[in-house]
Amino acid sequence: MQDMSRAKRLAITLTVMVASSMYALDWTIAAVALPHMQGTFSATQDQISWVLTSYIVISAIMLPTTAWLAERIGRKELFMVSISGFTVSSALCGGAESLPAEIAYRLAQGGFGAFLIPLSQSILLDNYPPSQHAKAMAMWGVGIMLAPVVGPSLGGYLTHEYTWRWVYYINVPLGILSLVGGIVFLQKTVRNTARRGFDWLGFLALAIGVGALQTMLDRGERLDWFDSGEIIIEFSLMAIGLYVFAVQGLTAKHPMVNLRLFRDRNYAIGVIFVFLYGLLSLAPLVMLPPFLQSLQGYPITTIGVLMAPRGLGMMFAMILFGRLGDRIDSRIWVTMGFVLLGTSSFAMSGWNLEVSGWQISWTGWVQGMGAGFVIAPLGMLTFSTLDIRHRTEASSIWNLIRSVGSAMGLAIALAVLVRMSGTTRAGLSEFINPYNKALMSVDGAWLPNSGSGSLALVETEIARQAAMIGYLDVFLLSAIASVLVLPLIFLIKKPAQNANH
């Protein structure tokens, strides 16, 4: 590792950045294209949502198999298979002519792509000396964190200018580029085919648990949660599946996921933090485009401009951490990150329907900086005290937990938005009557007894105000949660500066 040239190390970094960014991009790029897909496939809202859900579910299920597969076929070989499969399935997603075919190809895309993040992370850490891990994680973090940020805007542009199919076709040249880079620059690793067999019980338990969890989160709000028999069944399957998975991981001789890794305090606390980070980071990112489009009336191209400061803030934070990360305690970086996330969310909770572009931009910048200050140093802290032999396995668990946190955070945010908007709308409607003196003092076009046109105006404004309050509640909840997680940082041990891990 020490004899590797700087140029080759940079080439490896760019290769894994492109690959992992391509996978992360597809978490959000398809979101804005869903209405167009719905029309193409003549699907209902529930049916078309599985285009996103299937990708998330299969990714979470396949993530923990990364270490076992890397041992059996080699890390470079798995990386090549993952990129190839992801690229081909992306092209198939773009050419799908029916919803079942689209979902099947999305399952393949998520299944192949799931290996890219943990493999990229472990490849980078192995190809840089410990003294340069901060720099390596910062460069990698730029790609992995910027991709979901630009996803909605890029997806909207491609859908508007061309067709929704291009949100998938764009992966093809990126996939070919990273595949060539992997073939040329990545070194082969030693295979270990005799170490352990495949843990089918653990795999099936995880598949059932995570699949049931994601389905419950996806459908819970529409089915009124535990008032629905379906949600109760899914919750039961989730609990049983995850319980069996946990028992298997702690007691089996060769489990698919070695949960004994959680005996390492830094790793255990780091996993908790990355779950909370996922809980807090994805929801504002996914919810902001519809907020700007439906309540503010911005076109999709302007939304991309307004969301750009978040990406720029994240890039600035990553560059700053890359330069100073080895000089300042990583725990301080993580603390600053969550403080900035909370600050931006609190500022957003004070918005109104006349919020300016400047307010949207500067809060996005701060939010991006917070995300950048969290993810790279958190990765260093989490893996700093683990044996290098467990790095790929530990990284797969870490990213699995982040995925589950992101899914739960988005589901909670949407539930709060729908519930609070509905409650507020009902409350505001009570004041719309001919006896409300405040209402009678406004322009006559708004009076309840001025005809159907007036009622339509009032109804539209009530819906806008109620939705706005729902968004503000989500932002405030995110701000509070960002502050409440901070005491956990004191439980993380400071890693040795020159630890050989």
How would you class 207 by CB atoms within 10 Å of its CB: exposed for 0-12, middle for 13-18, buried for 19 or more?
A: middle
Which stretch, 54-63, 148-157, 167-176, 489-498, has highest mean pLDDT?
167-176
Three-state SS string across 93-116, please? Answer: HHHCCCHHHHHHHHHHHHHHHCCH
Give pLDDT, residue 188: 75
- Under 8 Å CB-to-CB from 256, ≥6 apart: which residues? 64, 65, 68, 198, 199, 202, 203, 206, 248, 249
Of 156, 187, 218, the residue at which a domain comes to its end is 187
422/324 same-domain check: yes
What does the alpha-carbon distance between residue 472 and residue 351 come to, in Å, rounded to a whole number? 7
Q: Is residue 192 part of a domain?
A: no
In a domain, 22, yes or no: yes
The pLDDT value recorded for residue 172 is 93
Q: Which comes out higher in pLDDT, residue 154 or 373?
A: 373
Q: How would residue 74 be classed by pLDDT, with cut points 50, 70 and 90?
A: confident
pLDDT: which is higher, 32 or 65:
65
Residue 346 domain-assigned? yes
Give me 56's structure tokens: 């998330």
Domain count within the chain:
3
Give the mean pLDDT of 57-61: 82
Q: Mark whether 206 and 281 lie in a shared domain.
A: no
Residues 228 and 376 in one domain: no
Above 50 in pLDDT, residue 356? yes
Asked if 445 and 366 sit in the same domain, the reply is yes
What CATH code is carried by the domain that includes residue 134? 1.20.1250.20
For position 500, what pLDDT does the model report? Answer: 40
* Radius of gyration for the chain, computed over Cα atoms and rounded to the nearest angstrom: 24
Q: For 298-306, what is the mean pLDDT? A: 73
Tens digits of per-residue pLDDT, 18-29?
888 888 788 767
Q: Examine the pLDDT at 400 and tell me if it is beyond 60.
A: yes
pLDDT digits (tens, 9 = 90+) for 84-129: 999 999 999 999 999 899 999 999 999 998 888 888 877 887 777 7
Q: Provide the pLDDT for residue 191.
A: 64
The answer to whether residue 300 scores a pLDDT higher than 70 is no
pLDDT-based confidence at residue 265 (cuts at 50, 70, 90):
confident
Cα angle for residues 436, 439, 442 (degrees, 5° grid): 150
How sure is the predictor about 447, in pLDDT bands with cuts at 50, 70 and 90? low
Query: 0.85 cut: is pTM over it?
Result: no
pLDDT at 2: 47
Q: Among 187, 216, 237, where does a domain finish?
A: 187
Stretch 339-357: mean pLDDT: 90
Using the predicted structure, report yes or no on whether residue 239 has a pLDDT greater than 90. Answer: yes
Q: Which positions ≥6 away from 290 have C-beta within 8 Å?
A: none
Q: Please indicate, yes or no, whether residues 204 and 163 belong to a single structural domain of this protein.
A: no
Q: Which residue range forms the structural domain that includes residue 204?
A: 199-255
Does 4 share its domain with 44?
yes
- Tokens (6 digits) for 348: 């957003």
- Do 242 and 331 belong to one domain? no
Residues 365 and 474 grouped into a single domain:
yes
| Residue 437's pLDDT band (cuts 50, 70, 90) | low
Output the pLDDT for position 232. 93
Judge if 318 and 227 occupy the same domain: no
Q: Please state, rounded to an integer, the average pLDDT across all residues of the chain.
A: 80
pLDDT at position 448 = 53
Among residues 88, 128, 92, 99, the alpha carbon closest in space to that of 4 is found at: 128
Q: What is the pLDDT of residue 354?
A: 85
Last residue of a domain, one of 187, 221, 240: 187
Are residues 436 and 361 located together in one domain of the fold? yes
pLDDT of residue 1: 47
Distance CA(76)–CA(391), nearest Å, equals: 15
pLDDT(490) > 50: yes
Please state the rounded mean pLDDT for residues 60-85: 86
Task: Tell whether 148 and 286 lie within a shared domain.
Answer: no
Rounded mean pLDDT of 44-73?
79
Percent of the chain with pLDDT over 70: 87
287 and 375 share a domain?
A: yes
Percent of the chain whose predicted confidence (pLDDT) is above 90: 16
135-192, pLDDT tens digit by residue?
777 777 766 666 766 776 777 778 778 888 998 999 999 999 999 988 888 877 666 6
